[in-house]
Amino acid sequence: MKFEDWGLTDYQKAWRNQEEIFNAVIQAKIAQQDTSDIETLVFCEHPHVYTLGKSGSESNLLVNEEFLKSKGATFVKIDRGGDITYHGPGQIVGYPILNLENHNLSLKGYIYRMEESIIKTLEHYGIDGYRLDGATGVWLDIDTDKARKICAVGVKASRFVTMHGFALNVNTNLDYFNFINPCGFTTKGVTSMAKELGRKIDIEEVKSILRTNFFEITNL
C-alpha cells in the first residue's frame, strides 16, 4: 500500500483523484489482479468546505450560500456516509483507499481500527480520545455534558473497497463549525488538538505519528 501527501488540495479535485484510485482498485479486483500496489493512504488539507453525506440533511447547514462565499467556503454533497462536516486548513484529512478483503477486515472492523489509530495518536499528546455509542469518530469527555468531537469519520465502500475516511482537527479554525450542526448533532461540541493543549501543534509531526499508527493498527 502506498502513502501520498497531497498537501492543501481543493476538495473537488481530491474527490476526483480519490475516485480514480478507487475505481482502479475495483477494476483490478474484478480482474482478479493484485490490488496492493494500487491501494493508497492519502493525507491532505482542504480550503474551507462543508460536505454533506448521502444520509445527511441540508437543514444542518445553518447559513446560506452568500454567507459561505463571504467566509471563503463552499458546500458539496458527496457519496460517503454520515451527515454534514467541515474541512479546512489545519485539519488532517485521511483518505484510505483499500481493498478490505486483502486485509481480512469487515467494514465495521476497519472503521474501528481507523478510530483506534486516531485515539493512539491523541494519546501521544496526552489527550484521551474515546468512541461514543451511536456516533462514529473520536470524542472527548463522552460521559459529561462537555462531550466534543475531535475527529470525524465518514466512509464509502463498494465491493469491499473503501474511500473517504477521517478528518482530525489539529490547528483547525473551530469558528467554521458554528455555521453547521456538526454531523447532525445540536447538543455536542467540536474541538481540536490545539484547543485542548493550548498551543499550535506541529501538523507534520502529527501526520508522521498518525501514519505509523494507522499502518500498525490496521495491519497494512
- Cβ count within 10 A of residue 75: 16
Helix axes 203-217, 107-124, angle to 10 degrees: 140
Catalytic residue among 183, 193, 194, 217: 183
User: Which pairs count as long-range contacts for 57-60, CB under 8 Å and 24+ apart, including other chains?
Assistant: 57/83, 57/84, 57/184, 60/84, 60/180, 60/181, 60/184
Active site residue 183: yes
What is the residue type of 42?
Answer: V
Nearest to 104 by CA among 113, 95, 96: 113
Q: SS3 of 18, please?
A: helix
H helix or E strand, kind and range, residue 24: helix 11-30
| Residues noted as catalytic | 183
